[in-house]
Structure 1
């Protein structure tokens, strides 16, 4: 049995290159640079970077940025960032052609950001994101779009 790829502290990490949707490519293939893990950013920085990645067709990478924000956030904002990360993963599943995974993550993400609808922090367009996620989930139940349209995170 081959040894697993490990990072500098010994955690299992797959070092294979990844495509823009986070799918592993063969060793040695050119891939998309991964987002640094565990990076602390200000909320505005996280939103700007996630939006840039979404607009570049890289929702998996946007999810990694939003996941860092979620894991470093204090209550009461943790669920907001978790929900937004789930929306990005849902978009990733749509782009990968996984309708069931897309529906599950889009619905869960919309549910997690719903409590922030009336007073959204950082000018996040919570109502617009819920509307976008609901519509995309409904489409994914019927068919998966070839090229899903990314959301706008801010108003």
Structure 2
């Protein structure tokens, strides 16, 4: 289906832990649909206790936003090469991920998010806050891709 008829495939990309399985699933879904892939990532100010030398978090203000944007672009570079026919739109915002992801999902064909495979003792598999919000609030199908 042409991209202008079926809507984008939207990928919620966690820049703290970009997962190849989730990214590959989203690119392949966009390729199969002939759709544009809209990649949405959110970043927030780091906890000063968690910052190591050379991390993006050491940049200040607008420079930090540019660093996160460049990091998202670098993560996607190999996938753009692997899927040259897939048009990619990118969004990197400061704050929490669910709101911009759901905004991008308006009119989308599919939303793709990841879920870590770890199990909670006595509870079983659980979704994180982004996957949970997407499942319950996106107005389109949602693919939750498990990963390690």
TM-score in terms of structure 1 length: 0.26
- Which structure has more relative contact order (CA 8 Å, sep 6+)? It is 2
TM-score normalised by L of structure 2: 0.27
Larger helix percent:
1
